[in-house]
Amino acid sequence: MRQLLLDITEIGPPSLDNFIPEGNEELLYTLKNLVTGSRQDRFYYLWGKAGSGKSHLLHAVINTFLQQKLNARYIDCSRADKPDFNSDVDCLSVDNIERLDNNEQIELFNLYNHFRESGSGIFLAGGTQPPAQLDLRPDLATRLGWGLVYQVRELADEKKIAVMQDYATRRGFELPLEICHYLLKHERRDLSFLIRLIHALDQHSLARQRPITLPLLRELL
């Protein structure tokens, strides 16, 4: 675990290299093979609860393909704007799929069929439940189960705390345990977001010339 903590990057966009794989080693290995062209599978579904790292991985695959100059898009269905399901992409990643309305589900169903029939392109999707338990159109849920399906397992709280405190130590300050517990209880639980909050807290502490405490965190938030 210590080596995993040292490997996490400071601040940066989601990547497959700054994802701590504990409990998800097979999934990470599969996705790394995907982006290097070592896998022939084209359809993937990742599911896990909020904070598991599902969105990180879906975003990371797209970021990697963009670095390879491919036409890749990440769509977050939890956003207020209507998703644009454009079929003219090399890779599409559709996150929070359970948030789609009925018309959007029909659009995605048709797009999924287009990907299958065209024989090209990579399709990834993510949700909070396995395909069979999604509150979606049965035909769409069935399609999502046709590809490779992986559960993304969340890091235990004590290991998230270890990562947060290790990050703080390497930045030169001590992160009180009560702040870690507060963040895990009241904020988004995905690790990349928590690390960014701690970075912002450090900057706020330096600007105010005040020690890092829970009242300072509440002031920042």
The predicted pLDDT at position 106 comes to 94
Reported as a single tens digit per residue, the pLDDT across 67-111 is: 999 999 999 998 878 888 877 899 999 999 999 999 999 999 999
Burial 82-119 (b: 16+ CB within 10 A, else e): ebebeeebebbbbbbbeebeeebbebbbebbeebeeee
Please give the structure tokens belonging to residue 159: 């290991």
The predicted pLDDT at position 39 comes to 78
The predicted pLDDT at position 42 comes to 94
The predicted pLDDT at position 86 comes to 78
Sites in the chain below the pLDDT cut of 50: 1-10
Reported as a single tens digit per residue, the pLDDT across 47-77 is: 998 888 899 999 999 999 999 999 999 999 9
Q: How far apart are CA 147 and CA 68, in angstroms?
A: 24
The predicted pLDDT at position 4 comes to 40
The predicted pLDDT at position 11 comes to 55
